[in-house]
């Protein structure tokens, strides 16, 4: 299901997708954080290497603090995968 590159990074989050539906999440990187809602996930691959297949997760931005390693679309969505996965993800209470 997961590539060797991503297994240790994303498998725990993937297994909790049912529990986070419709909940705000706080995603943390060293340089900042994002409050977001999980939207969907899909199989993805690097443009220059079709052998590097992995799972990407789509989120809707609620709030951004600091500088984060994501690209936010004009509609307010961003993607994370094992390349830019946050160091910590918490359900916001």
pLDDT over threshold 70, residue 50: no
Mean pLDDT across 53-71: 95
35-51 b/e (C-beta count within 10 Å ≥ 16 → b): ebbbeebeeeeeeeeee
- Per-residue pLDDT tens over the stretch 9-32: 999 999 999 999 889 999 999 999
Q: Is 5 helix (H, G, I), strand (E, B) or coil?
A: coil
pLDDT over threshold 70, residue 49: no
Strand order through the sheet with 32-46: 77-80, 49-66, 32-46, 24-29, 88-91
pLDDT over threshold 70, residue 75: yes
Distance CA(92)–CA(27), nearest Å, equals: 10
């Amino acid at each position: 299901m997961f590539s060797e590159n991503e297994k240790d990074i994303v498998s725990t989050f993937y297994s909790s997708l049912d529990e986070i539906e419709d909940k705000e999440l706080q995603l943390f990187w060293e340089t900042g954080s994002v409050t977001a809602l999980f939207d969907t996930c899909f199989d993805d691959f690097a443009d220059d290497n079709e052998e590097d297949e992995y799972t990407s997760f789509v989120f809707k931005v609620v709030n951004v603090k600091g500088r984060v390693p994501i690209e936010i679309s004009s509609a307010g969505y961003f993607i994370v995968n094992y390349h830019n996965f946050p160091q910590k993800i918490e359900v916001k209470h």
